[in-house]
Structure 1
């Protein structure tokens, strides 16, 4: 498979995302106004509660069996490592760039959560469809299974790990904004709208106040003095704050629940025979879920594009933050991913299937998950910032994903 052929295969799904986002941007313009703030909010809830869970359930139930789950046990471990490594790199990034408090959750979310779903569902089968693909005749047989399992496991981690994390930062900033309103005693207090994107931003006076600038510090007995605590204590303090903010009910998001149900249906043979396959008595349930799931990806991309309208006029995201996220997801994570997969191969954890190893490496090279945009829309915090980050991430990925795919194939036996 030549470089030009591989380039076309890898670049097409990313360009599709950018084109659909452009349509969403067009429909959000004032002259059209089909995807205004209220419409985006309602559409996003439909994606969150219906389309995304349907997509996860149908793909997982149709492609995963108990035998394949036993064989592919390392994939959940690999995806977990992408989240942990991405979170650590994201945390380092916000420390280096001194990222504003109100977008720290978004930055860590974009660094940790990759698009493990629709991009792999398009790229991996497309590579296998090429007559001269490097993975042999069995490529098409396993491509959809690997990609679907990646999407399902990714959904579980995104909604049980990234979602509470982003929500914890969003809730913390809401509490901080409320305290500013209560404590303003001179003149009329400033008000903050929960449904407004600007509610996430600190007030004009907040940037210079002790309460805002000292959030990462612990007060001493002398109230007029503050001191910076060691980095380890600050990290422990931050973790405790996040853990207190995590709502376990929110951690079990619809997509995560759908993934668990999909695992049960796919791996338990009697249930699978009833629901999956054209000859199954209740196959109409699976077909309906698949039909609804197909609407999730374009709707989510339209929302992302619509949120770009305000970001193109004014964005609170620093250029260095955007560059940092792109560097994490397009340089550091793929390099570390090569090391992880190669080490797993040497220790006999992944077997000799080169396509499987290719998918494992690819999980480190994909751009940020668009589900992060869904989260910010649900929390009504940071929609504009997330859309700007996504725009540049996917624009760069149109090139970087192709280059990494080529390198991965060259490295594999």
Structure 2
């Protein structure tokens, strides 16, 4: 195929994305205010809890089988490499530009996590449907492409809500409360408040004697004793009693579970991935649900109806969120340029080397569509979930909007050029 033909094929899905994004942007304008803050919040919940799980579970159940899942093992590795390499380049960037410390997590996260969801769900099927597509039959290409992108979306969600969530939180102002979740005890003494953070139980024991002498006349609420009992802290009047071995084990387990934050790992998309894979791999369940003659085929078709609403809803939210990027922020110009360089120059070049090496040693096989999706996972704008994470920690919200505005604006050109080159490369 001629390079110009590939360029036109790659340009059409990007234009579709931009048009839907522009509609979302206009709906969020204060004069129209259809997608205001409250509306975006509710629509985002519907997408997060209903549309995305239906899309992921349905796509994987339809296309993934016990034999095909073995050939997809490199995709989680490839996505993990995009996160690790991107975060490393982001760390170098914040050091070079001397970014304020509370924004380090935002910049590193923006360089690490790409939008592995709604953009690919538009781009890949559109590329398959074009008559000049190098990926063969339209219907099989679209079906397989949607399944691969759904798996990419689910794996990316796990990495974002574990890896990136922890990075942004560790630099945020609320990291001590939301990640470490150190217990705070308030003692009211004649109108005064003392905050005792029980991060170290040994320290609590050593200081118990001094606290007792200082607050003998204080009225201590019942929740202090409850907190002390929960962590097996010895009472002040029993100074010789030491923390039990069970108490220490419980302390370390609680600390690890708080930092890992397992609840954020098992998002609806992750659970839907597990359900979809089980349906596809386990033959008896697959025969019940998948196929025109399946007894419970209506469940699969209902999930498909919900899945069809995922892409337009997510893209409208992206456009509406970009409105915040027009506001002023303290983000430097060179920092934005650096993020653009990392996402659209450095990462794609590194990705070409990784995927070509994996193909050379036989890790990814000869499927052109699979190799293309592995390549396109590198030059993507930052994941929109980063905006949600910054809102959770209340750090860098306006700066995040500016980053999203510029990276998604430049993505119109960058994704078109890289998609064209990647199609030429695999064909």
Quickly name the TM-score band, shorter chain normalised: 0.7 to 0.9
Q: Match for residue 30 of structure 2?
A: 30
Aligned with residue 311 of structure 1, among 307, 321, 325 = 325
Q: Structure 1 residues 11, 310: CA separation in 2 closer, same or farther (over 3 Å shift)?
A: same
Q: Match for residue 270 of structure 1?
A: 284
**Deviation (angstroms), 1:117:** 2.7
Alpha-carbon distance in structure 2 between the residues aligned to 1:109 and 1:87:
7
Alpha-carbon distance in structure 1 between the residues aligned to 2:65 and 2:50:
24
SS at match of 2:68: helix
**Deviation (angstroms), 1:173:** 5.6
Conservation of the 8 A alpha-carbon contact between 1:85 and 1:112: yes
Alpha-carbon distance in structure 2 between the residues aligned to 1:32 and 1:96:
42
Aligned with residue 389 of structure 1, among 390, 403, 406 = 403
Conservation of the 8 A alpha-carbon contact between 2:121 and 2:311: no
Alignment of 1:42-191 (within 5 A): 42-137=42-137, 142-170=144-172, 172=174
SS at match of 1:99: coil
Conservation of the 8 A alpha-carbon contact between 1:14 and 1:394: no
Alpha-carbon distance in structure 2 between the residues aligned to 1:47 and 1:376:
19
Conservation of the 8 A alpha-carbon contact between 1:358 and 1:412: yes
| 2:333 matches 1:331 | no
Bigger Rg, structure 1 or 2: 2
Alpha-carbon distance in structure 1 between the residues aligned to 2:130 and 2:369:
14
| 2:365 matches 1:351 | yes
**Deviation (angstroms), 1:95:** 1.9
Alpha-carbon distance in structure 1 between the residues aligned to 2:28 and 2:58:
31
| 1:28-62 alpha-carbon deviations (Å, 9 max, x no partner) | 33322333333333332333222222222222222
| 2:309 matches 1:295 | yes
- Note the residue ranges of structure 2 that are not aligned, 5 or more in a row: 179-254
| 1:174-194 alpha-carbon deviations (Å, 9 max, x no partner) | 859xxxxxxxxxxxxxxxxxx
**Deviation (angstroms), 1:331:** 0.5
SS at match of 2:67: helix
Q: Structure 1 residues 96, 242: CA separation in 2 closer, same or farther (over 3 Å shift)?
A: farther
Scaled by the length of structure 2, what TM-score is found?
0.72
Alpha-carbon distance in structure 2 between the residues aligned to 1:41 and 1:174:
26
Alpha-carbon distance in structure 1 between the residues aligned to 2:309 and 2:393:
22
Q: Match for residue 4 of structure 1?
A: 4
| 1:153-205 alpha-carbon deviations (Å, 9 max, x no partner) | 333333343344434444636859xxxxxxxxxxxxxxxxxxxxxxxxxxxxx
Alpha-carbon distance in structure 2 between the residues aligned to 1:58 and 1:290:
7
**Deviation (angstroms), 1:337:** 0.6
Alpha-carbon distance in structure 2 between the residues aligned to 1:52 and 1:145:
13
**Deviation (angstroms), 1:335:** 0.4
Q: Structure 1 residues 406, 38: CA separation in 2 closer, same or farther (over 3 Å shift)?
A: closer
Conservation of the 8 A alpha-carbon contact between 1:330 and 1:365: yes
Conservation of the 8 A alpha-carbon contact between 1:24 and 1:305: yes
- Note the residue ranges of structure 1 that are not aligned, 5 or more in a row: 177-240
Aligned length in residues: 351
| 2:422 matches 1:408 | yes
Conservation of the 8 A alpha-carbon contact between 1:164 and 1:250: no
Conservation of the 8 A alpha-carbon contact between 1:66 and 1:267: yes
